[in-house]
Amino acid sequence: TGPPPVLRYNLNNVTITNTPVKNRESVLILTPMARFYQGYWDNLLKLSYPHELITLGFILPKTKEGNAAYAELDKQITKTQKFGPEKDRFRSIIILRQDFDPPIPSQDEAERHKMQNQKPRRAAMAKARNSLLFTTLGPSTSWVLWLDADVIETPPTLIQDLAFHNKPVITPNCFQRYYNAEKKRMDERPYDFNNWQDSPTAQKMAAQMSPDDILLEGYQDMATYRALMAYMYEEGGDIHYEVPLDGVGGTALLVKADVHRDGAMFPPFSFYHLIETEGFAKMARRLGWHAAGLPNYKVYHYNE
Ligand code: GDP
Ligand code: MN
């Protein structure tokens, strides 16, 4: 028994390429989770990226709802990791319980999306994402996939397809299936409005704001005239059609680990009048990394 071993990592040897399976690159899937949806877990299991290269990280609030989600998550993890087929098992799983309370008690969609709730809610989400990121990012992580707990349907090749573009930050288009009462059939609509290209109007609005104020997207009282990726979807269009983005959402977001290692995080404060994931895109940009989006590549959000 000598002194404790020194662990050495050569970050140069951690490849981040557009053929990550071939190069056996490690992926960290990070999910902030207020509620557990079986659809999320089932979809996760179906991802065809080799599970032995995937580490999962979760952060759950210490609320009644968070406790319930934790219990269900724990049950599914045991089922998969202990009793499931070898190929389903992930390399490792980390679960964090949040050390601060959510700013708004109710998580119902209407309450969540009220404009006056946005700043405290998005700030809390940003802190949750940062806690998760800074405690789980490892020296051998190549990619970080941010995947919200209510994203219940993606192509099984999600990771490979996004990585194929070899972009520092890339996101698919997040839609939602719902029952269209008028057409009397199932239909779908855009869900994530945080993927956008900036506009002169938004720039002008930002210039007139006080330092702590933030711009929000998707609110009529704050028309920004940004170009939203949500509306760039074209039926039958090439799924690999790529557009540059200035703001991103977090529903499904693939990030080269180097971007986070350089220091890009989720500002829980007004950063260029942007917060959380949108602020992250801006911070990545200031570090020289440009975000991209795939308007025709769809993933689906749960419909509450
Ligand atoms: P929305 O889809 O934009 O309304 O945002 P969500 O409320 O779905 O939040 C985004 C992600 O964060 C989802 O995966 C939620 O389960 C999760 N989430 C929401 N609130 C909290 C929270 O207070 N703490 C943690 N750890 N996760 C949360
Ligand atoms: Mn959501």
Q: Which pLDDT does position 118 carry in this prediction?
A: 92
**Is the minimum distance from the CB of 59 to ligand 1 under 6 angstroms?**
yes
* C-alpha distances out from residue 86 to 42, 183, 256, Å: 16, 44, 27
d(CA 263, CA 225): 30
CA dist 9 and 12 (Å) reads: 9
61 lines ligand 1 (CB under 6 A): yes
Confidence of residue 134 (pLDDT cuts 50, 70, 90): very high
**Which residues are CB-contacts of 204 (< 8 A; sequence separation ≥ 6)?**
none
- Residues 148/107, Cβ–Cβ less than 8 Å: no
State the pLDDT at residue 108: 81
Tell me what pLDDT residue 107 has.
66
Higher pLDDT, 100 or 35: 35
Is it the case that residue 176 has pLDDT exceeding 70? yes
Q: Is the pLDDT of residue 51 over 90?
A: yes
Across the range 111-140, mean pLDDT stands at 94
Q: Is 291 in the pocket of ligand 1 (CB under 6 A)?
A: no
- Contact in structure between 144 and 260 (CB atoms under 8 Å): yes
Please work out, in degrees rounded to the nearest 5, the angle formed at the alpha carbon of residue 210 by the alpha carbons of 205 and 211.
110
Smallest Cα–Cα separation from 108: which of 150, 70, 67, 74?
150
Q: What percent of the chain has pLDDT over 90?
A: 89
Find, among 241, 231, 247, 249, the residue nearest to 281 by Cα.
247
33-53 average pLDDT score: 98
Per-residue confidence (pLDDT) for residue 106, from 0 to 100: 61
- Residue in 33, 101, 122, 171 to alter for ligand 1 test, most ligand atoms within 8 A of Cβ: 33
Query: How remote is the CA of residue 301 from the centroid of ligand 2, in Å?
Result: 7
Is 102's C-beta closer than 6 angstroms to any atom of ligand 1? Answer: yes
| Secondary structure letter of residue 91 according to DSSP | S
Each residue of 77-97: pLDDT tens digit? 999 999 999 999 999 999 999
Cα 45 to ligand 1 centre (Å): 21
User: What pLDDT band is residue 276 in, cutting at 50, 70 and 90?
Assistant: very high
Q: Is 33 in the pocket of ligand 1 (CB under 6 A)?
A: yes
Q: Name the H helices within the chain.
A: 38-46, 64-78, 109-112, 118-136, 158-163, 200-207, 257-261, 276-286
pLDDT in tens, 138-159: 999 999 999 999 999 999 999 9
Give 189-240 pLDDT, tens digit per residue.
999 999 999 999 999 999 999 999 999 998 988 899 999 999 999 999 999 9
Q: What is the C-alpha to C-alpha distance for residues 64 and 232, in angstroms, rounded to an integer?
A: 39
Q: What is the DSSP letter of 252?
A: E
When pLDDT is averaged across residues 166-179 and rounded to a whole number, the result is 98
Question: Among candidates 223, 224, 268, 262, which has minimal Cα distance to 246?
Answer: 224
The C-alpha angle 33, 26, 82, rounded to 5 degrees, equals 60
Q: Which residue has the tokens 């990585």?
A: 163
Whether 151 lines ligand 1, by a CB cut-off of 6 Å, is: no
Tell me the domains of the chain and their CATH numbers. 11-301 (3.90.550.10)
Tell me how far CA of residue 92 lies from CA of 135, 147, 214, 282, 302, in angstroms: 14, 17, 37, 31, 26
Residue 184: how many CA atoms within 13 Å on its side-chain side? 0
Contacts of 226 (CB under 8 A, 6+ apart): 196, 197, 198, 199, 201, 202, 217, 246, 247
Q: Ligand nearest 250 Cα, by number?
A: 1
Compute, in angstroms, the gap from residue 101 CA to the centroid of ligand 2: 18
Which pLDDT value is given to residue 88? 98
C-alpha distance from residue 204 to each of 44, 213, 248 (Å): 41, 13, 20
Percentage of the chain beyond pLDDT 70 is 99
The pair of structure tokens assigned to 45 is 């299991």
